[in-house]
């Protein structure tokens, strides 16, 4: 079989300001994101031949049809927990790569201020909220790699301050203020050892991408961005089935990354990637991602964090837009918000948070819970 590499391109993107958007509903958020994308691409709603909508709390593609007033266009709702937005993009790309549609739209949206996280649903166990799940990872990681709680919490705090700093350079981020390592350490505890600033917030937002063939992209703009690869891995509950589950790394991320690297032809990700957006729902999640992605050696992320390797001016800037820690996490929107940042970075249009000459960038999502995560990875590159 073939890879998706260079078969589809993004020619326009939009992203709302994230945060407590009490003033607007889901449809307004989609309008805001889609019309920025239309304008960016020089296209209109009527040019859209098919669409995919990533949203966790919703039903059918109809709200998107209503928002952008399509006339009987195919719209598919996809949902894969925290990877829902990314899944909208992936499925949209397949349709274009198959030659079925030429110009398609992927939209991610979620409005959580009204509803909080999750909903009454017989299929979903109430279970432990995300911070308490990731607290298991943090405690185990500290134990396995000989970090005292103080040492470990300081390492994690550096991730929080990095992302919040990046967020101050981004007018679309929810939280705008700088925070210090001491702020993180002294914040109210969420789930030991994770404090308030180690965890992302619920939030409202939407993001949109217009996807087409490279041929059509060339006629629309010079700085289109090419798809290089996708990876998606869903755990089958192996965590519960096996005697030992290693809470300090996630096979779903490892496998999703492997697929995406393979598709993109990436052999040495630490060297070859120029910028990345990863799923920092908790700071420990971001740390573990460094290792699962093959950017830091197992147990050694500390060294790279301390050297600033993942800072804006480091070797591989991670979450230059501020990440979930600055944006909050409107479930369906986050995946496309990440791709929006990579798109802008690759175009050199990321303003004061611009990374130096990036040519290839990655996004990563992680949803669900230990043993049955869903992890999605996407890789994008500049045209040659």
Q: Does residue 6 interact with a second copy by CB under 8 A?
A: no
Binding segment toward a second copy, per CB under 8 A, in 71-79, 302-310, 314-322, 351-359:
71-79
Of residues 365-384, those binding a second copy (CB under 8 A): 367-368, 372, 374
Active site residue 82: yes
167, 322 Cβ separation under 8 angstroms? yes
The count of chain residues that interact with a second copy, using the rule CB under 8 A, is 66
284, 133 Cβ separation under 8 angstroms? no
52, 89 Cβ separation under 8 angstroms? yes
The interface mask with a second copy, positions 8-47, x = CB under 8 A, is: ------------------x---------------------
154, 181 Cβ separation under 8 angstroms? yes
Residues 6+ apart with CB under 8 A from 122: none
Rg of the chain (C-alpha set): 19
Of residues 106-165, those binding a second copy (CB under 8 A): 114-115, 119-124
Task: Among 85, 131, 152, 235, indicate the residue that binds a second copy (CB under 8 A).
Answer: 235
Separation CA 123–CA 137 (nearest Å): 25
Residues 6+ apart with CB under 8 A from 332: 53, 54, 55, 56, 58, 79, 84, 85, 88, 108, 109, 110
318, 288 Cβ separation under 8 angstroms? no
- Of the residues 34, 82, 93, 199, only one is catalytic, namely 82
Task: Among 2, 23, 243, 313, indicate the residue that binds a second copy (CB under 8 A).
Answer: 2
Q: Return the number of the residue (238 or 297) whose C-beta is nearest a second copy.
A: 238
The interface mask with a second copy, positions 254-273, x = CB under 8 A, is: -xx--x--------------
In total, the chain counts a number of residues equal to 384
Q: Return the number of the residue (59 or 352) whose C-beta is nearest a second copy.
A: 59
Q: Return the number of the residue (217 or 256) whose C-beta is nearest a second copy.
A: 256
Q: Is 193 exposed, middle or buried (0-12, 13-18, 19+ CB in 10 A)?
A: buried
CB atoms within 10 A of CB 132: 14
- Of the residues 227, 282, 329, 382, only one is catalytic, namely 329
Of residues 174-233, those binding a second copy (CB under 8 A): 231-233
- Output the smallest distance, CB 236 to a second copy, in A: 4
What is the binding site for a second copy (CB under 8 A)?
Answer: 1-4, 7, 26, 50, 56-63, 65-66, 69-81, 87, 90-91, 94-95, 97-102, 114-115, 119-124, 231-238, 251-252, 255-256, 259, 367-368, 372, 374
């Amino acid at each position: 079989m073939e890879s998706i590499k260079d078969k589809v391109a993004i020619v326009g993107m939009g992203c709302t300001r994230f945060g407590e958007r009490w003033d607007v509903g889901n449809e307004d958020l989609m309008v805001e994101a889609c019309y920025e994308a239309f304008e960016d691409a020089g296209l209109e709603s009527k040019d859209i031949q098919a669409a995919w909508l990533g949203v966790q709390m919703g039903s059918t593609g109809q709200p998107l049809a209503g928002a952008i007033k399509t006339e009987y266009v195919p719209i598919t709702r996809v949902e894969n927990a925290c990877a829902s937005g990314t899944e909208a993009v992936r499925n949209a790309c397949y349709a274009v790569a198959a030659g079925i549609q030429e110009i398609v739209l992927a939209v991610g949206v979620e409005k959580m201020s009204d509803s909080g996280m999750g909903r009454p649903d017989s299929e979903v166990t109430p279970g432990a909220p995300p911070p308490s799940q990731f607290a298991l990872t943090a405690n185990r990681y500290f134990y396995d790699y000989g970090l005292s709680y103080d040492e470990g919490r300081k390492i994690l705090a550096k991730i929080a301050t990095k992302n919040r700093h990046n967020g101050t350079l981004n007018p679309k981020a929810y939280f705008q203020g700088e925070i210090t390592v001491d702020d993180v350490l002294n914040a109210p505890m969420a789930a030991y050892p994770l404090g308030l600033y180690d965890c992302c917030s619920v939030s409202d937002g939407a993001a949109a991408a217009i996807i087409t063939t490279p041929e059509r992209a060339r006629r629309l703009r010079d700085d289109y961005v090419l798809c290089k690869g996708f990876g998606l891995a869903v755990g089958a509950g192996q965590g519960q089935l096996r005697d030992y589950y290693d809470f300090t790394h996630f096979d779903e991320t490892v496998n999703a990354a492997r697929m995406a690297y393979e598709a993109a032809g990436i052999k040495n990700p630490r060297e070859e990637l120029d910028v990345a957006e990863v799923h920092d729902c908790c700071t420990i999640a971001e740390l573990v991602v460094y290792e699962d992605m093959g950017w830091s050696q197992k147990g050694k992320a500390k060294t790279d964090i301390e050297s600033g390797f993942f800072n804006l001016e480091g070797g591989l800037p991670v979450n230059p837009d501020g990440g979930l820690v600055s944006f909050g996490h409107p479930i369906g929107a986050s995946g496309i918000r990440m791709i929006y940042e990579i798109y802008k970075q690759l175009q050199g249009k990321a303003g004061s948070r611009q990374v130096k000459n990036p040519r290839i960038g990655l996004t990563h999502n992680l949803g669900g819970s230990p043993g049955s995560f869903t992890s999605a990875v996407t890789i994008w590159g500049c045209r040659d």
